[in-house]
Chain A
Amino acid sequence: MKALILVGGFGTRLRPLTLSFPKPLVDFANKPMILHQIEALKAIGVTEVVLAINYQPEVMLNFLKEFETKVGIKITCSQETEPLGTAGPLALARDKLIDESGEPFFVLNSDVISEYPLKEMIEFHKSHGGEASIMVTKVDEPSKYGVVVLEESTGKVEKFVEKPKLFVGNKINAGIYLLNPAVLDRIQLRPTSIEKEVFPKIASENKLFAMVLPGFWMDIGQPKDYITGLRLYLDSLRKKSSSKLAKGTHIVGNVLVDETAKIGEGCLIGPDVAIGPGCVVESGVRLSRCTVMRGVRIKKHACISSSIIGWHSTVGQWARVENMTILGEDVHVSDEIYSNGGVVLPHKEIKSSILKPEIVM
């Protein structure tokens, strides 16, 4: 079985993190974002993954090689030379996706994090016998999204309504598809939208079916949602494999700590914290609702909440970092500094407090 992951551009919404690494390589819960998807695909028997990207893949190739051997899966890139929308990349990767088996293939949006119930999706796809399956998820405010109107009993999709003003349903496209190769015959190699052009056509022929995604779903394309996404992810991890979560009197709620990270005396960590490989958290530190990426040092008595600390950064003694502070790679916050919502580009030193949310170039 094969799969296509729609990676797209540089991920400007996730800057300053994506100034250092392309978005698929930005860590989420101690793992590059795209690895969550690749591992889920591998687990249900996918043997080859195609990444649809619209920039030169050179920066990623070494990492992809590493993933190939680590996960045991073939990874190739399909590069757009012009933006092709959400459907065009499928046409571009047509030759890579079609083989003699005639099996359906997965299409995943790389910004989305969920429990990836792909096995259930295959069963659903087989059961309805249509041409395409899409995963939908329930949201509180459907008017912000494209709503999928479906027949509740069978899952047959009736129509798509973009940002409805009147309530037509609360299920939206979750960005996870399972498509028969025949769908590729419907897509031309030009900029085109899968939601607006391809799916409505299949739906009109009664060959499109939607499955409601069990568990959580989050588009983690921007920092605020990234932090929320980590909470949902760790909640789900607690239910599925809680042994991966940290335990101890210094831990509150769900906390993920890499085995190579060191944590000092008198700390209080959690809830909803991820601490990456090689991190050093010195004594008396307080961490909550935050991501601490690979190689970071948090010095004594510092306090961090609702923030992302980028790779190899340091946070000084008695510093306080909070309220959606995003530190890019290799940022150094001096001792006793307060950052309230500072968004700091890579390789900066912060020597005076940031009292109101602002961007530090």
Chain B
Amino acid sequence: MGSSDEKVVAVIMVGGPTKGTRFRPLSLNIPKPLFPLAGQPMVHHPISACKKIPNLGQIFLIGFYEERELALYVSSISNELKVPVRYLREDRPHGSAGGLYNFRDLIMEDSPSHIFLLNCDVCCSFPLPEMLEAHKKYGGMGTILVIKVSAESANQFGELVADPVTNELLHYTEKPETFVSDRINCGVYIFTPDIFNAIEGVSSQRKDRADLRRLSSFEALHSATRSASTHFVRLDQDILSPLAGKKQLYTYETIDFWEQIKTPGMSLKCSGLYLSQFRVTSPHLLVSGDGTKSASISGDVYIHPSAKVHPSAKIGPNVSISANARIGAGVRLISCIILDNVEIKENAVVIHAIVGWKSSIGKWSRIQASGNYNSKLGITILGEDVTVEDEVVVINSIVLPHKTLNVSVQEEIIL
């Protein structure tokens, strides 16, 4: 236990372009894992959390984006963290367990003692070293990060029951119709290499079965194109459910924040959560100012060093401003993400919104939403290169790329 030469690797599942359609219109321009939250690509947050794992050997990103879409980021983050980060591209989705199994030889290259598995689209504090400690103590094959949520919201996730004393996973069910538990799966795991045997077990069992299995419609659609040698294996239903109650899987409960980043609205909320985490972990990334020499800042705000912000502007809370953005005199920004090369002209107001790359917001115009992160139009989203003319008001709306708005809109999706 705790020997200094044992190696740990981390695997982050990043998905691919046919997934994450709910993240449109932002995913029309950028792979979702690279969308900036708190000024850093979404995938950067789990990656920097991995950096804190003792004896971390390598980080693998597994997904089905084209290599070139992630190449630049992967090489720059490797240099920055001084840890090898490799992108492993699947030819098609294999499920998270299937994807892991598919690349087992590469993952096991340096004979790691433990493998972390993280989903890119969850937002949390990733207490990975603590999880590793707990996992070693439990002595099982895997440990799942869990969190307590409200009973009403639990059924959107994988609900699980754990032994209150031993923390063993007793029962697991994905998105149940009726209430099972208010403890849910956070999509962050640690496994011993035995996990590959468990996945292989599921695959071979399936091969043997004549009636294969009850397929979900999604699976049925994809099964035709799936080769016989590689298998679509889901981690939750195919591995966690059957292994529950067999003294192989354990849980580690976090009391920090946790959210799933499925929609642009949630990305704004998660950007805010990461900004407030920076207050503790990386305060140097947050800006301050009182309006004399630099803009007046309220709450947690990230501003890229290349962005220009007029001293008479007031920014925050929960604002992140990306590279080369220009924020004019008397502008007010609250709870928003301003992407690269955006221009916001004098006296404009942006509240609860995401302003897409190269967009231009006119003088005294107003981009606003209710701030209800879960509703479809609860955050106003402007796609790439959207122009909002002077004095125009855009409320609770989504605007697709390359549009010009010269009249006010409310509760609309502009194609």
> Contact residues of A with B, CB < 8 Å?
266, 268, 283-286, 288, 300-301, 303, 305, 317-318, 320, 322, 336, 338, 340, 353, 355
Query: Given the interface contacts A303-B364, A318-B349, does A266 sit within 8 Å of B329 by beta carbon?
Result: yes
How far in angstroms is the closest Cβ of chain B from A334? 13
- Fill in one digit per residue for B298-316: 1 if any A CB lies within 8 Å of its CB, else 0: 0000000000000010100
Residues on A with beta carbons closer than 8 Å to the beta carbon of B370 = 355
| B332→A320 contact, CB < 8 A | no
Residues on B with beta carbons closer than 8 Å to the beta carbon of A320 = 349, 366, 393
Q: Interface range on chain B: under 10, 10 to 19, 20 to 34, or 35 or more? A: 20 to 34
| Residues of B385-402 whose CB lies within 8 A of A | 391, 393, 395-396
How far in angstroms is the closest Cβ of chain B from A262? 18
Residues on B with beta carbons closer than 8 Å to the beta carbon of A285 = 347
- 21 inter-chain pairs at a CB distance below 8 angstroms, sorted by A residue, are A266-B329, A268-B363, A284-B312, A286-B347, A286-B391, A300-B330, A303-B366, A303-B391, A317-B314, A317-B332, A318-B347, A320-B349, A320-B366, A320-B393, A322-B393, A336-B334, A338-B393, A338-B395, A340-B410, A355-B370, A355-B410
Residues on A with beta carbons closer than 8 Å to the beta carbon of B351 = 336
| B395→A355 contact, CB < 8 A | yes
Partner of B332, one of A266, A283, A286, A301: A301
Query: Given the interface contacts A336-B351, A338-B395, does A284 sit within 8 Å of B346 by beta carbon?
Result: yes
Question: Which single residue of chain A is at the shortest CB-CB distance from B334?
Answer: A336
Residue B368 at the chain A interface, CB threshold 8 Å: yes
| B347→A303 contact, CB < 8 A | yes
Question: Which single residue of chain B is at the shortest CB-CB distance from A284?
Answer: B330
How far in angstroms is the closest Cβ of chain B from A299? 11
Residues on A with beta carbons closer than 8 Å to the beta carbon of B346 = 266, 284
- Fill in one digit per residue for B310-328: 1 if any A CB lies within 8 Å of its CB, else 0: 0010100000000000000
Query: Given the interface contacts A266-B330, A355-B410, does A338 sit within 8 Å of B364 by beta carbon?
Result: no
How far in angstroms is the closest Cβ of chain B from A305? 7
**Most chain B beta carbons < 10 A, residue from A317, A322, A336:** A336
| A338→B330 contact, CB < 8 A | no
Kindly list 4 other residue pairs between chains A and B, CB separation below 8 angstroms, not including A266-B346, A284-B346, A301-B331. A301-B332, A301-B349, A353-B368, A355-B396
| Residues of B355-408 whose CB lies within 8 A of A | 363-364, 366, 368, 370, 391, 393, 395-396
In angstroms, Cα B368 to Cα A42, docked, is 51
Query: Given the interface contacts A284-B346, A338-B366, does A305 sit within 8 Å of B332 by beta carbon?
Result: no
Query: Given the interface contacts A283-B330, A338-B395, A355-B410, does A301 sit within 8 Å of B366 by beta carbon?
Result: no
How far in angstroms is the closest Cβ of chain A from B190? 45
In angstroms, Cα B331 to Cα A301, docked, is 8
Question: Which single residue of chain B is at the shortest CB-CB distance from A320?
Answer: B366
In angstroms, Cα B331 to Cα A243, docked, is 34
In angstroms, Cα B370 to Cα A283, docked, is 27
Question: Which single residue of chain A is at the shortest CB-CB distance from B332?
Answer: A318
Question: Which single residue of chain A is at the shortest CB-CB distance from B333?
Answer: A318
| B368→A338 contact, CB < 8 A | yes
Partner of B347, one of A284, A305, A322, A338: A284
Closest 8 CB pairs of A and B: A284-B330, A318-B332, A286-B364, A303-B364, A301-B330, A301-B347, A318-B349, A284-B347
How far in angstroms is the closest Cβ of chain B from A6? 40
| B349→A305 contact, CB < 8 A | no
Question: Which single residue of chain B is at the shortest CB-CB distance from A352?
Answer: B370
**Most chain B beta carbons < 10 A, residue from A340, A353, A355:** A355
How far in angstroms is the closest Cβ of chain A from B353? 13
Question: Which single residue of chain B is at the shortest CB-CB distance from A300?
Answer: B330
How far in angstroms is the closest Cβ of chain A from B328? 10
In angstroms, Cα B393 to Cα A286, docked, is 14
How far in angstroms is the closest Cβ of chain B from A300? 7
Residues on A with beta carbons closer than 8 Å to the beta carbon of B334 = 336
Residues on A with beta carbons closer than 8 Å to the beta carbon of B330 = 266, 283-284, 300-301
Residues on A with beta carbons closer than 8 Å to the beta carbon of B363 = 268, 286
Residues on A with beta carbons closer than 8 Å to the beta carbon of B347 = 266, 284-286, 301, 303, 318
How far in angstroms is the closest Cβ of chain A from B396? 8
Residues on B with beta carbons closer than 8 Å to the beta carbon of A303 = 347, 364, 366, 391
In angstroms, Cα B118 to Cα A46, docked, is 88
Residues on A with beta carbons closer than 8 Å to the beta carbon of B349 = 301, 318, 320, 336
Question: Which single residue of chain A is at the shortest CB-CB distance from B349?
Answer: A318
In angstroms, Cα B364 to Cα A301, docked, is 8
In angstroms, Cα B335 to Cα A336, docked, is 12
In angstroms, Cα B312 to Cα A317, docked, is 12
In angstroms, Cα B314 to Cα A303, docked, is 16
**Most chain A beta carbons < 10 A, residue from B351, B363, B364, B396:** B364
Residues on A with beta carbons closer than 8 Å to the beta carbon of B395 = 338, 340, 355
Question: Which single residue of chain B is at the shortest CB-CB distance from A319?
Answer: B349
Residues on B with beta carbons closer than 8 Å to the beta carbon of A300 = 330
In angstroms, Cα B395 to Cα A268, docked, is 23
How far in angstroms is the closest Cβ of chain B from A193? 43
In angstroms, Cα B391 to Cα A322, docked, is 11
| Residues of B195-216 whose CB lies within 8 A of A | none
In angstroms, Cα B395 to Cα A278, docked, is 34
Question: Which single residue of chain A is at the shortest CB-CB distance from B368?
Answer: A338
How far in angstroms is the closest Cβ of chain A from B315? 12
In angstroms, Cα B410 to Cα A340, docked, is 11
Residues on A with beta carbons closer than 8 Å to the beta carbon of B393 = 320, 322, 338, 340
How far in angstroms is the closest Cβ of chain A from B189? 42
Residues on A with beta carbons closer than 8 Å to the beta carbon of B364 = 268, 286, 301, 303
Query: Given the interface contacts A303-B391, A320-B349, A322-B393, does A284 sit within 8 Å of B368 by beta carbon?
Result: no
Question: Which single residue of chain B is at the shortest CB-CB distance from A317?
Answer: B332
Residues on B with beta carbons closer than 8 Å to the beta carbon of A266 = 329-330, 346-347
In angstroms, Cα B332 to Cα A165, docked, is 53
- Fill in one digit per residue for B334-348: 1 if any A CB lies within 8 Å of its CB, else 0: 100000000000110
Residues on B with beta carbons closer than 8 Å to the beta carbon of A322 = 393
How far in angstroms is the closest Cβ of chain B from A272? 15
In angstroms, Cα B325 to Cα A163, docked, is 59
In angstroms, Cα B391 to Cα A320, docked, is 10
In angstroms, Cα B334 to Cα A344, docked, is 26
Question: Which single residue of chain A is at the shortest CB-CB distance from B366?
Answer: A320
| Residues of B133-157 whose CB lies within 8 A of A | none
In angstroms, Cα B363 to Cα A336, docked, is 15
| B366→A284 contact, CB < 8 A | no
How far in angstroms is the closest Cβ of chain A from B113? 53
How far in angstroms is the closest Cβ of chain A from B312? 8
| B332→A336 contact, CB < 8 A | yes
Question: Which single residue of chain B is at the shortest CB-CB distance from A355?
Answer: B395
Residues on B with beta carbons closer than 8 Å to the beta carbon of A336 = 332, 334, 349, 351
| Residues of B217-262 whose CB lies within 8 A of A | none
How far in angstroms is the closest Cβ of chain A from B217? 39
Question: Which single residue of chain B is at the shortest CB-CB distance from A288?
Answer: B391
